Amino acid sequence: MKQKSKYKFLVAMLMSTSVIMSAQTRITNPFGLVYENAITENIPGKVNIHTVIYKLNGIEISANIYTPVNYDPSKQYPAVVVAHPNGGVKEQVAGLYAQHLAESGYIAIAADASYQGASGGHPRNVDKPANRIEDIRGMADFITSYAGVDANRVGLLGICGGGGYSLKAAQTDKRFKAVATLSMFNSGLVRRNGFMNSGLSTIQQRLKDATEARAREAAGGEVLYAADIKTTDEMADKMPYDLYREGHYYYNRTHSHPNSTFRYTMSSLLDLMEFDAVTNMDLINQPLLMMAGSKADSFYMTESAFNLATGTKEKELFLIPEATHIQTYYVPEYVEQAIRKLNGFFSRYL
């Protein structure tokens, strides 16, 4: 019982960063963007942002499309689909990388996952792998018909949890001609085993909790949520892992957004805990680039996926020196290194 209580406390601290708006991060950007040097207005001859809404399986998806300097819809451009982290939204790191890619000549799309962010779907914050994978395919559906996009030159970039889901999407969806991940996070592995296998002893209890939550929903009862607590700075400072400690400050302080939350329906665990991003990695035959910080405590997930990617003849593992997982989201010198690598990769294969 003591071990179970200790684990639940660790899960509550490590798997949640409920958004707390602070004076440091009031959103003044007209597009809601919270990253540094974000677009504040569309100026002719510059990178522009276009807010769009489209339907995916009956759900309205909220997305931002970034177009290159002097974008001409009558011309043909390569495109990149960008998938955001777990709990994140398109206005954070996904938007930052999409903007940089547009600066490099790509049309880039970043969309909120269904049931999350500004996208539709109820109950809120359902977090099922099948939905996230379908969201990535849906972005490809939309962007391949967007004016100026060359449908034969579409790349994919997945960040954190979006990286794991991007690997799964690319295994079967060959519209993606080149696949890249940044700080890849295997959501199913962590939800099942805990970060760094810290939750192996409580798997069956958590499955029981998820089963009971689904039964309650089916009976018309209250929707229960996991990771639905507010994390204080003091709590974060005591966390044993850089990923969650720094993640608190990124998502709750420096880059907070009202649509961003790590809570998810407890019943989602039934799907999450049977999922593994690295099964069938041999199906990826496209060029593959996997990037991670050299100091990232989450690196073991990138390394595992990379080693299992035996179906592609072109693959590269790129470590960003001295960077941790979260630092690859926003620290200029690390972002610049990742973007340089992405530009070389996508220019070669798209």
Per-residue pLDDT of 267-300, as tens digits, reads: 999 999 999 999 999 999 999 999 999 999 999 9
pLDDT at 52 over 80: yes
Asked whether 343 and 316 are in contact (CB, 8 A), the reply is: no
pLDDT at 23 over 90: no
pLDDT tens across 30-50, in order?
999 999 999 999 999 999 999
List residues bridging with 79 in a β-sheet: 107, 154
Nearest to 309 by CA among 340, 286, 327: 286
How high is the pLDDT of residue 27? 65
Structure tokens at 144: 């391949």
Structure tokens at 60: 């309205």
pTM of the model: 0.92
User: What number of other Cβ atoms are within 10 A of residue 2's Cβ?
Assistant: 6
Asked whether 95 and 64 are in contact (CB, 8 A), the reply is: yes
pLDDT-derived band at 28 (thresholds 50, 70, 90) equals: confident
Asked whether 176 and 133 are in contact (CB, 8 A), the reply is: no
Within 255-298, residue ranges assigned H as helices are 269-272
Nearest to 21 by CA among 251, 264, 330: 251
pLDDT tens across 177-214, in order?
999 999 999 999 999 999 999 999 999 999 999 999 99
Structure tokens at 13: 């601290």
pLDDT at 22 over 80: no
